[in-house]
Amino acid sequence: MRFSIATSAFLGLASFILISTVQSVPASVLPDGMPNPNKDESKRIELKSQGTLPNGPPPPKVSKEGIVTLQLIAFNELFEIAFFSELLTNVTNKVPGFDIPNAGERDFVLKSLTAILAQEELHALSVNNVLKHAKARPVQPCKYTFPVSNYTEAISLAATFTDLVLGTLQDAVERFALGSDSSLARLITAVVGQEGEQEGWYRTQQRRIPSQLPFLTTSDLNFAFTAVQSFIIPGSCPNIRDIPLKTFQPLTILTPPTTKTQNITVSWKPDPTIKEPEKLSLTYINQQNLPVSVPLRIKSMANVVVAEGVFPYNENILNGLTIAVVTTGGGSFPNVDAVAKATVFGPNLIIVN
Ligand SMILES: *[C@@H]1O[C@H](CO)[C@@H](O)[C@H](O)[C@H]1NC(C)=O
Ligand SMILES: *[C@@H]1O[C@H](CO)[C@@H](O)[C@H](O)[C@H]1NC(C)=O
Ligand SMILES: *[C@@H]1O[C@H](CO)[C@@H](O)[C@H](O)[C@H]1NC(C)=O
């Protein structure tokens, strides 16, 4: 049974952020003149990406909600650029833990990461271009730091955040539909497929089958907004306040589950605004199914609250990405949107198989 190392990356995020404010973490600078490449830099990015930016005109207008969705996508793409740029540098320089001994394999990894980085750069540019054209401020990069110390961990983290992106872009397309932003649906679904190709490669590198589920797990913009912030050096984002999404408090999974129904232990920092913690639920989102909520039993309440709840793997075949959050008001949520509205801690990301 395998667990995403990235799960622990997300787990450690609260303490990690604290550490990174104290130490002076070297800030990653985006490559290729991003997010404002000049003509030559843009050309070089396109050549490395094996393709081009869409050359048609951006949509004439975008709904207010559509703007928020584009901001979140740009916010996420900029973080991915920082990640893949750093990973490519680590592999190129044979940084300890990132040396791939087999020359043929190393060459293939370098070629793949070079293309992925450039493709992510074009994703970010395309979305920021739409924002500019719609008279909204383009999203600026932050300073990032990543909790990975070797190639295996890096690929596992890439697989985890790409999984979350694949769920989040489903929410993006639904929001475009609700806002009558039909001209954005095609652009974003072109990106969904592209990220799915990446995910298949990250999975095969972990000796997992490339296609994880019949219907990929859905998510919510607010969950992605929260998750990306775990890699951001606090206070380093020039215009994060432009993005009107929610940031939830961290949820840790102390005992990540395996392929069977079992109790798992989770924890969070006590929040005085939550009056009846014993009434909180653990809610799971997997595939295109109705969210599953289970009661939490509080085990201890000191510096952290530790609670236990069942992970109902057998009943629900919880393979692939499962998004776990702690919600108020358990019971039956009709969809992920309702879950996000009731979320207090999370998301934490579980990947089984
Ligand atoms: C790159 O390597 C450094 C040094 O080991 C490490 O701290 C950082 O997390 C790595 N970043 C990525 C994205 O691989
Ligand atoms: C990568 O780093 C993690 C955490 O330090 C460690 O548990 C794991 O064994 C390392 N993996 C490899 C392949 O070096
Ligand atoms: C989970 O813990 C509860 C309470 O201790 C117990 O009744 C239940 O059988 C456990 N469930 C599983 C699947 O182990």
CA of 221 to the centre of ligand 2 (A): 31
CA of 49 to the centre of ligand 2 (A): 30
Q: What is the pLDDT of residue 22?
A: 36
Instruction: Tell me the pLDDT tens digit for each residue of 237-267.
Output: 999 999 999 999 999 999 999 999 999 999 9
Average pLDDT (39-46) is: 98
For ligand 3, atom 3, the nearest C-alpha belongs to: 263
- Closest to 198 measured CA to CA, from 162, 154, 161, 157: 162
Pocket-testing residue among 85, 94, 98, ligand 1, by greatest number of atoms within 8 A of Cβ:
98
Residue type, 174: E
Q: Is the CB of 93 under 6 A from ligand 1?
A: no
Q: What is the pLDDT of residue 277?
A: 87
- Tokens, residue 229: 């912030």
Q: What is the mean pLDDT of the chain?
A: 92
CA of 263 to the centre of ligand 3 (A): 6
Counting atoms of ligand 3 from 1, which one is nearest the CA of 263? Answer: 1
Instruction: Tell me the pLDDT tens digit for each residue of 308-339.
Output: 999 999 999 999 999 999 999 877 999 999 99
Contact between 264 and 257 under an 8 Å Cβ cutoff? The reply is yes
CA of 152 to the centre of ligand 2 (A): 7
Phi, psi of 277 (to 5 degrees): -60, -25
CA of 159 to the centre of ligand 3 (A): 31
Q: What is the pLDDT of residue 28?
A: 53
Confidence of residue 134 (pLDDT cuts 50, 70, 90): very high
Contact between 208 and 2 under an 8 Å Cβ cutoff? The reply is yes
Q: Is the CB of 263 under 6 A from ligand 3?
A: yes
For ligand 3, atom 2, the nearest C-alpha belongs to: 263
Check whether 25 has a pLDDT greater than 50: no
Q: What is the pLDDT of residue 29?
A: 77
Whole-number Å distance between alpha carbons of 125 and 58: 12
For ligand 3, atom 13, the nearest C-alpha belongs to: 262
Domains of the chain are: 8-242 (1.20.1260.10), 252-352 (2.60.40.10)
CA of 153 to the centre of ligand 2 (A): 7
3-state secondary structure of 46: helix
